[in-house]
Amino acid sequence: MLAVLIIGAVVALFVSLAVFAYKKNQQRIAALQQLALSKGWQFTRPDPYGLPGRWPGAPFDQGYARVAENVMTGKIGDRDVVAFDYSYKEDSTDSEGRSTTSTYSFGVVALGMPCPLPELELYPEHVFSRIGKALGMKDIELESEEFNRRYRVKCPDAKLATDVLTPRTMEMLIAAPKMHFRFVGGDVVCYESGQLKAPDVLVRAGALERLIDGVPSFVWKDHGMTQIQPLPAPETLR
């Protein structure tokens, strides 16, 4: 009898946790919808754009069952913006042959740039990257020691990284919450582990906007200011 009661209590606990998680997620989605409404953006639960296939590189080229949902599209100033939840799955097998499927989730925010730039990636410094530095793995060191302690920079063109990450831009990024972003073609894409939250969308989009604004005009001119494929526009949903 006691065992039955214990099993019943465990089942009830799991059900309660599942219901709580569901309600929290519904509240999160409602907040995203409200944000989109307040900004004049479009919101759609399914992804009508094929967003997982838009950009190469992590996390979009990893795993399988790649899904984008809770998609917001609109404008920040004169720039296209898109934000969405992204997830993929990976299978693994332990030493005893047991298979496990894991789901990895990310909140993605991307802004269109005036023209394509070579790939530049910036991600927060952490203990493993510090170990990598100690082992001789290279990243681009900039003039700000505080920035170098906070971020790692990868770019095939060190001069481009120096030109883009001006002292003013580095100060902005130091003051902002840590982000992981990279230039991919004509877009700057920020992706962080976990689900997208409404306050994070504005913080990340604002930081990306200031990043683009801080790129010197000669950088854009040097790269041609050519026509680029725009991010999904709200009109495509109508």
Beta pairing class for 181-184 and 151-154: unpaired
Give residue-wise pLDDT tens across range 137-194.
457 899 899 999 999 999 999 999 999 999 999 999 999 999 999 999 899 999 999 9
Please give the mean pLDDT across all residues of the chain: 84
Q: Work out the pLDDT band at 134, boundaries 50, 70, 90.
A: very low
CA distance readout (Å), 213 to 66, 139, 225: 32, 24, 14
Give residue-wise pLDDT tens across range 43-99.
999 998 899 999 999 899 999 999 999 999 999 988 999 999 999 999 988 777 788
Parse the chain into domains and list their residue ranges: 41-237
Q: What percent of the chain has pLDDT over 70?
A: 80
Residue 229 DSSP one-character state? P
Angle between helices 198-213 and 167-175 (to 10 degrees): 170
Peptide bond just before 59 cis, omega within 30 deg: yes
Give residue-wise pLDDT tens across range 77-91.
889 999 999 999 999
3-state secondary structure of 25: helix
List helix spans (H) across 63-197: 127-134, 145-150, 158-164, 167-175
